Amino acid sequence: MSEPTLHFVVCADPLPGQAQSETIPAMPAVTHRMAYWQWGRADSAHVIVCVHGLSRQGRDFDVLAQALCDAAGVLSGGDVRVICPDVVGRGQSDWLPDPSGYQVPSYAADMLALIAQLHLEAPITTLDWVGTSMGGLIGIVVAGQPGLPLPVPVRRLVLNDVGPVIQWQAVQRIGSYLGNTGRFATVQEAAHVMWAISSSFGPHTPAQWLELSRHMVKPLAGDAAQAVTLHYDPAIALPFKALTDALAQAGEAMLWHLYDHITAQVLLTRGAVSDLLSPATALAMTQRGPKATLVEFAGVGHAPTLIAPEQTRAVTRWLLV
């Protein structure tokens, strides 16, 4: 497998209080850097943005990005530029001084800055989006507002195990571990601990899980034993844990409104035993708005990692055929 190149885009910090009140907040002058990993041809006019889940990072998409690059010439007779950002507060990106900015509207604003920079570097004529969990919610915000300053509208949107309604028990489950970044003597030890809370991702070989885990940790600053810790800012948990069932239900109406305004073709991938995206919500998403095409993966919960051959094949064919 080839390796991606690491790049950065400068984004404006959200103003305090704006992230909760605006779909995409206005931006002040204080800035942060968002990292992104680039695969494929740097000048390709076909850009596929892949955005990870809540506590993950852009290298989650290594297998899918490689598959997209390999398949582009075969399936579509062209090339692609696959962009996998580390959402702010994760991976190689900066941490925000104000944790209230760790919310979907602020992340969507960062993605607009990223896409604008990509378009300046090489004009975009085709824009697709793959979003896992939180990355899918960001995709709904970006694709569901036709007036946003995008170079072209989102053409195809893959929502990986997420929709406008998020089951409250899944929120509680994720909140039970989010923010506990820990201390681990080795990457392997970290991998064991992460598997205990991530086994719903479905079957993985030990080698696959270790590779996923390798990008999920960083050296623990000042630790003489060279231990590692999870890569993200523990403060990303603060807005998440402030969420109540009532607030979550209030947000559903806005998300459905955005979903119903999506003009992109939508592929909805769902773990067949997901506790976050219910069968009822998935069915509703196939019947309203963009009327998503639904594909379910047996033996997988929340969320498919898009590593298994049947998962990568479903996404690459949707985006490239």
Q: How is the chain split into domains, by residue range?
A: 5-169+236-320, 180-231
Report pLDDT digits (tens) over 213-244: 999 999 998 877 889 999 999 999 999 989 88
The mean pLDDT of the chain is 93
Q: What pLDDT is attached to residue 21?
A: 44
CATH topology of domain 5-169+236-320: Rossmann fold (3.40.50)
CA 66 from centre of chain: 17
Q: What pLDDT is attached to residue 19?
A: 46
Helix and strand totals (H; E) in the chain:
11, 10
Residue whose C-alpha is closest to residue 283's, from 274, 271, 292: 292
Q: Are 300 and 273 in contact (CB under 8 A)?
A: yes
Q: How many CB atoms lie within 10 A of CB 145?
A: 16
Q: Are 64 and 307 in contact (CB under 8 A)?
A: yes
Q: Which two tokens stand for residue 172?
A: 């509680």
Question: Average pLDDT, stretch 99-103?
Answer: 95
309-320 vs 62-71: helix crossing angle, rounded to 10 = 50
Q: How far apart are CA 228 and CA 231, in angstroms?
A: 9
Q: What is each CA distance from 313 to 173, 282, 295, 306, in whole angstroms? A: 30, 20, 11, 9
Q: Which two tokens stand for residue 39?
A: 């695969």
Report pLDDT digits (tens) over 249-292: 888 999 999 999 999 999 999 999 999 999 999 999 999 999 99
What is the SS3 string spanning 81-141? EEEEECCCCCCCCCCCCCHHHCCHHHHHHHHHHHHHHHHHHCCCCEEEEEEECHHHHHHHH
Question: Average pLDDT, stretch 160-171?
Answer: 94
Report pLDDT digits (tens) over 52-86: 999 999 999 999 999 999 999 876 678 999 999 99
pLDDT band at 247 (very low <50, low <70, confident <90, very high): confident
Task: Tell me the β-bridge partners of 268.
Answer: 159, 294
Tell the burial category of 173 from Cβ atoms under 10 Å away from its Cβ (0-12, 13-18, 19+): middle
Q: What pLDDT is attached to residue 2?
A: 84
Q: How far apart are CA 51 and CA 31, in angstroms?
A: 21
Alpha helix segments (H runs only) across the chain: 18-21, 62-71, 104-121, 134-143, 168-175, 187-198, 206-214, 237-241, 245-260, 279-287, 309-320
Q: What pLDDT is attached to residue 20?
A: 47
